[in-house]
Amino acid sequence: MESENINSEWNKQIVNHRQYNKICSKHGSVLVKSPNSKCRRCIEEMKNNYNDLNHNGIVKIIEKLKNKYDVIMVPTYIPEGSVRWNGRRKNFENPLSEIYNLYYFVYIKFCVNKEGVIRALVAGKTGSKKVNYSGSDINFFESVNHGEARKLLKEKNMKWYKDEILVIKADDEDSAYRIENEVQECFNLFGS
């Protein structure tokens, strides 16, 4: 009887594990975060190959995406030398919903290296003020405790390119997730 209870509990743990985790299709590793998470080996490969990727510039990304998606470069209005909007966030958020009529969207954030080369680093999904009271969750913090992209920034002595981001319009939240996955895979980008 006791062994049945143990087996039953073990089966529950296995079911829960399968429900909340995704298996990396490339390496077979278990992922414990969101559906867009990458396994540890994928992240290390991305970091190691980052310098070898030369197709991640703004112009090349726009050229590749504009035939399939509605893409726009949106100014952030973040003051030079700051990681925060310092009261200017509304200048960024309001056009997303009022001018561009965005609900959910995918964004690409760029970084700049010490030679001044700007390259894509992160693709994420968020929503405008039409779906989130406070607007999008886009930020340019540099704390290495908040993601692999920020660790890479520090390791490679790079900074966020904060002048503008690339925005890809999505029809709804499901399509935003799909586009986010496609963009991350296509350009070898980190998740947000």
pLDDT tens digits, one per residue of 69-92: 999 999 999 887 787 787 888 899
- Percent share of the chain, pLDDT over 90: 31
Q: Which of 12-21, 83-92, 148-157 has the highest mean pLDDT?
A: 148-157
d(CA 129, CA 97): 6
Burial of 119 (0-12, 13-18, 19+ CB in 10 A): buried
| Same domain (yes/no): 144, 76 | yes
Please give the C-alpha separations between residue 59 and each of 7, 36, 90, 92, in angstroms, as whole numbers. Answer: 56, 25, 27, 22
| Same domain (yes/no): 116, 96 | yes
| Same domain (yes/no): 24, 63 | no
| Same domain (yes/no): 124, 65 | yes
The answer to whether residue 8 scores a pLDDT higher than 90 is no
pLDDT at position 117, please? Answer: 85
Domain total of the chain: 2
pLDDT at position 71, please? Answer: 93
Query: pTM of the prediction?
Result: 0.75
Structural domain boundaries, residue 64: 39-191
